């Protein structure tokens, strides 16, 4: 937060903040003063560098057996289904579980051709790195036009290294990777008073995930705001399409496709408190419950901190409200925090709002430099604690004999086999076997093979404790499984063929 720069009065009229010159959303701001056109070479270098950092983090994490059945293997099995010409199913979720009944994300079918060429979970990780890195371009191009090349470089780098992006890249693959470039393009178009382009970039979000319809509705309402009749019609139609699709998906499509006949994740939205405490609990969940426990408030602060809270000065920030609202209403603690991928879609919104806030206030000279330096400083301060900070840790690059042993054990399992495996091993088997999670109640029973990592780190052990895992292995041996191999804590069991 800062006062207008002292040298604003010395600017010519077209740069001193004449009202209305930057479009309906930017009333009071300056017109476009920077260069437009294709991305310069340095911008491509920035995007390429971020792509390499994202891909390196994702692939190295996967290689170290630190990716997961939930969610990387689920998405790999879904994309594999599309590549084989079938509707997506995931054995990790349950035998033949229809993925479109869990989350409605048909956009994943776009990865099928790449998966046919490179059938591996790594394909998804590389695609995610490319999609997220590409989202830097529209924001940086807008910042270059509005604020200049130096500002574009700082904003592009601060966004690309922001903790919400970094933590998403560090945790498996998610369909929201498709959302961030669409959001960046839509919001950049809206900020530059191109409502039709904003709507056209926003509408494909409906194919990314069922909750994105609410985000599309928010974009539509912003398009309709402060516009003429044609703009209002476009905005309201976009908003109606987004809202209608989310309601249709949640109330009709997903329950119809889900084996349980319901939208499973509705139970997270104030479910336990509302059921037990009645109206008072529901009222609390929708008011103070949005920022309590404290972790919710901390997350909100950290989402806005990389922009020095200047994003609050732009109406574009309203696009983040639907995502932040369902997270605040959720009873599921990981939805509140800064880990995992849940803040990914907020990052392009807050940085678009940052660019817009600087542009509409006519921030130049020392004021602009202070804002950029502060934003860069906050992002760099938070970077070591994010997933990207792991790239600087020696442990990330240490050769571990256990990894080679794990791959030798997995190589013993034939293609097409039915397998249950430990969490960190499942994503490595999902491209060529029918694999589910060992110890997970919904996993396909009586598999041909069981592969367990008995020496996994305690903080990574899931879903079974060490004691329960030992008991489960003992029960498997008692049921007729024999030990085929054992090495470096990995135990491979094979089912004894039935006779007679």
pLDDT at 286: 55
pLDDT at 19: 34
Nearest to 74, CA basis, from 426, 442, 441: 426
Q: What own/partner pairs with CB < 8 Å and gap ≥ 24 does 492-499 have?
A: 492/409, 492/412, 492/413, 492/449, 492/450, 492/451, 493/449, 493/450, 493/451, 493/452, 494/448, 494/449, 495/446, 495/447, 495/448, 495/449
**pLDDT tens digits, one per residue of 169-197:** 999 999 999 999 999 999 999 999 999 99
Strands 89-90 and 97-98 come out as antiparallel
Is the peptide bond prior to 449 cis by the omega test (within 30 degrees of 0)? no
Q: For the chain, which residues score pLDDT lower than 70?
A: 1-36, 270-292, 497-500
Residue 412: how many other CB atoms lie within 10 Å:
13
Structure tokens at 47: 């995007």
**What SS3 state is found at 443?**
coil
Task: List 450's β-bridge partners, or say none.
Answer: 420, 493
Angle (deg, nearest 10), helices 121-134 and 136-147: 10
Nearest to 446, CA basis, from 472, 415, 479, 473: 479
Instruction: Compute the distance between CA of residue 186 and CA of residue 181 in angstroms, rounded to an integer.
Output: 8
Nearest to 141, CA basis, from 184, 79, 77, 104: 184
Element containing residue 45 per DSSP (H, E): helix 41-63
pLDDT at 497: 63
The model's pTM is: 0.89
Task: List 436's β-bridge partners, or say none.
Answer: 420
pLDDT at 13: 34
**What SS3 state is found at 203?**
helix
pLDDT at 30: 43
Instruction: Compute the distance between CA of residue 132 and CA of residue 348 in angstroms, rounded to an integer.
Output: 10
Angle value at C-alpha 87, between 82 and 92, nearest 5 degrees: 85
């Amino acid at each position: 937060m800062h006062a207008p720069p002292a040298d604003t009065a010395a600017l010519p009229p077209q740069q001193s903040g004449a009202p209305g010159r930057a479009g309906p959303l930017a009333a009071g701001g300056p017109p476009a003063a920077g260069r437009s056109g294709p991305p310069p070479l340095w911008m491509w270098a920035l995007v390429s560098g971020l792509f390499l950092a994202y891909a390196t983090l994702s692939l190295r994490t996967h290689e170290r057996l630190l990716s997961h059945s939930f969610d990387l293997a689920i998405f790999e099995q879904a994309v594999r289904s599309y590549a084989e010409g079938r509707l997506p199913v995931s054995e990790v979720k349950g035998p033949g579980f229809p993925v479109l009944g869990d989350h409605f994300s048909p956009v994943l079918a776009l990865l099928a051709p790449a998966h046919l060429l490179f059938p591996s979970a790594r394909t998804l990780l590389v695609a995610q790195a490319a999609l997220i890195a590409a989202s830097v371009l529209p924001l940086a191009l807008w910042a270059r036009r509005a604020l200049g090349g130096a500002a574009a470089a700082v904003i592009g780098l601060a966004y690309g290294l922001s903790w919400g992006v970094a933590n998403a890249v560090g945790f498996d693959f998610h369909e929201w990777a498709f959302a961030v470039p669409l959001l960046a393009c839509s919001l950049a178009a809206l900020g530059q008073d191109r409502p039709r382009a904003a709507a056209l970039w926003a509408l494909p979000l409906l194919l990314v995930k069922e909750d994105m319809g609410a985000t599309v509705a928010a974009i539509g309402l912003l398009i309709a705001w402060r516009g003429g009749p044609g703009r209002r019609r476009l905005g309201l139609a976009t908003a109606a399409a987004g809202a209608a699709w989310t309601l249709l998906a949640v109330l009709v499509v997903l329950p119809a496709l889900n084996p349980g006949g319901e939208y499973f994740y509705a139970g997270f939205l104030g479910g336990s408190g509302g059921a037990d405490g009645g109206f008072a609990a529901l009222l609390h969940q929708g008011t103070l419950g949005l920022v309590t426990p404290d972790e919710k408030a901390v997350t909100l602060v950290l989402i806005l901190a990389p922009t020095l809270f200047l994003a609050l000065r732009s109406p574009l920030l309203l696009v983040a409200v639907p995502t932040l609202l369902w997270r605040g209403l959720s009873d599921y603690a990981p939805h509140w925090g800064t880990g995992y991928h849940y803040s990914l879609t907020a990052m392009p919104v807050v940085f678009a709002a940052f660019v817009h806030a600087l542009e509409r206030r006519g921030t130049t000279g020392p004021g602009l430099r202070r804002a950029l330096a502060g934003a860069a400083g906050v992002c760099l301060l938070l970077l070591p604690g994010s997933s990207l900070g792991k790239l600087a840790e020696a442990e990330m690059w240490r050769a571990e004999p256990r990894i080679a042993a794990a791959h030798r054990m997995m190589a013993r399992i034939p293609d097409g086999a039915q397998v249950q495996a430990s969490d960190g091993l499942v994503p490595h088997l999902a491209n060529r076997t029918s694999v589910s999670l060992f110890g997970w109640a919904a996993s396909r029973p009586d598999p041909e093979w069981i592969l367990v990592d008995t020496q996994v780190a305690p903080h990574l052990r899931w879903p079974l404790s060490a004691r329960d895992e030992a008991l489960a292995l003992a029960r498997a041996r008692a049921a007729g499984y024999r030990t085929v191999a054992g090495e470096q804590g990995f135990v491979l069991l094979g089912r004894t063929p039935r006779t007679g």
